[in-house]
Copies of this chain bind each other. A is one copy, B any other.
Amino acid sequence: MRLRADLVPQDNLSYQDVVLVVDVIRATTTATAFLEAGASSLYLTAGLESARAFRDDDVVLAGEEGGLKPAGFDYGNSPREAKEAPVGGKIVVLSTTNGTRTAHLAARSAKHVLLASLYNAHAAARLAHQLATEEVAILCAGKEGRIGLDDVYTAGVLAEFLQIMGSYELEDGALTALTTRRAYPDPLEPLHLSAAAQALRQVGLEADVPFCAQIAASPAVGVLEGRVGEALIFKRA
């Protein structure tokens, strides 16, 4: 089995098998928290307007614009909030920048798309390992087209878990991610150093960082089940 990590999303990349999409600060952590809180499904939309178009009784709108809750939305993109949100049986529409775009890139070609974070790292790696027949690819969202240390570190944690479960052939991206993971015994350190955490500090949301740094605390994994319009529909595996 091949294990591949793409540390930054690129339009020309394509995927044959399983993709673990990683936007640890914060989209894929928040998505996991909403599913854990009981959301019936999660719609990932690429823009705020297409999110608003889904507004309905049993629909909850969440997302961010410059790190903050967009006007008229029910929630921001905070995993702390998401985990406590009364979303049982509801559809959560989540609109963020880097994470959503990356999930759409993976969905263009992959057989299976999973939402992975440190928070659900064990469960996500296990499911990826079960589903894969030839390759597990970890696709990091990064930040506005640039690499994110937080996502690379998370890719390394996922790579480590995958290697425990089976024999994988690692390419250069996966080797780089693993190296990064091994360099930081405490996940808070690379997460705090990342540009994503710096941006959160600027809007007073740095308390989300320790939440995102919890490793394997959740069994919930969002798996792509279909589309409606331009939204990707994820359900808990």
Q: Which residues of A come within 8 Å of B, CB atoms?
A: 5-8, 10, 12-13, 142-143, 145-150, 152, 171-173, 175-176, 179-180, 182-184, 190, 193-195
Residues of B within 8 A of A5 (CB): 147
Q: How many angstroms from the CA of A175 to the CA of B196 in the assembled complex?
A: 14
Q: Which residues of B contact A13 (CB under 8 A)?
A: 145
| Cβ of A197 to closest chain B Cβ, rounded Å | 10
Closest to A195 in B: B172
Q: CB < 8 Å: which of B7, B8, B172 contacts A194?
A: B172
Query: For residue A172, which residues in chain B have a CB less than 8 angstroms away from its CB?
Result: 142-143, 146-150, 152, 193-195
Q: Judging by beta carbons under 8 Å apart, are B146 and A175 in contact?
A: no
Contact of B176 with A180 in the complex, beta carbons under 8 Å: yes
**How near does chain B come to A178, taking the closest CB pair, in angstroms?**
9
Q: List 28 A-B contacts (CB under 8 A).
A: A5-B147, A6-B146, A6-B147, A7-B8, A7-B147, A7-B176, A8-B10, A10-B145, A12-B145, A13-B145, A142-B172, A143-B172, A146-B172, A147-B176, A148-B172, A149-B176, A152-B176, A172-B193, A172-B194, A172-B195, A175-B190, A176-B176, A176-B180, A179-B180, A179-B183, A179-B184, A180-B180, A183-B183
